[in-house]
Amino acid sequence: MQEQQNNPDIRSAYEKAADEGIDPRCIPLPLDVIPPVGEAIPYPDYPAQDHTVWNILYSRQIASLEGRVCREYIDGTKMMGFSPDKIPALSDLSKVLNLNTGWSVGRVPGLIRAEDFFRLLQKRVFPSTDYIRGMEEIDYTPAPDLFHDIFGHMPLLTNKSFADFYQKFGEAALKAEGEVKLFLERFHWFTVEFGLIRNAEGLRIYGAGIISSKNEVAHSLSENVTVLDFDPEKIIRQEYDVWHLQPILFAVDSFEQLDEGFTGWAKSAGIL
């Protein structure tokens, strides 16, 4: 009993949330079969309401992101050829990524276990769902869906520095043990999901968790948020709550800094 009290709780934020009776869709699933990748992904027979939900979410977020999101993300959306009228095909998006940065898209059934997720990233395969939230969750869903995966994550994977960083992240995470796994989870949260970037236009958003959220877009650049400079050592020590608006965020100066900073930290931790 004494040993348990002295050991730090190194479970992920989602694992802790599961103990609190949070939505079961947020409990990671084992990936028992190799997911279809690229051209092997069939296009679902979506009902009309699914395309309507995509249209509402896409139109709303694109409008709210104007003047707030980074240029690299906007460039990525143009490459992806998103349309407000129809849910994009994962196979088509995979072709775009493969042409630009050597990444592909793999279809997964939902939130998957960390080791399966990292193994796909290591292979430059981005795991994406192919279902979208219902109209009753239009403003917020705790579960992963294709809008978050496609609209939030994929555009930045057209950027070489970000794409290289993400592949290294997957490679390093597969070697991590103990507390280092928790450090990587925090690093992912404060960069890939909730990262900010400083550029010539000022402070801008790049994190997918912000980009795909109605409330986080305005909140992230408001005076209610403390923005800290990118520092891997500070990021890995910063705790967070997955169910509330984020009060603390970190800003990089460039995606090259993100890639180089992560690589240096991971090497020092012996996982790259």
Query: Catalytic amino acids?
Result: 148, 153, 193, 212
For every residue of 176-200, which 3-state class applies, written as one string?
CCCHHHHHHHHHHHHHHHCCEEEEC
- 172 within 8 A of 188, measured Cβ to Cβ: no
Q: Give the residue among 87, 50, 82, 89 at the shortest CA–CA distance from 65.
A: 82
Distance separating alpha carbons of residues 156 and 77, to the nearest angstrom: 8
Q: How far is CA 52 from CA 46, 139, 140, 217, in A?
A: 10, 14, 16, 22
| 218 three-state secondary structure | helix
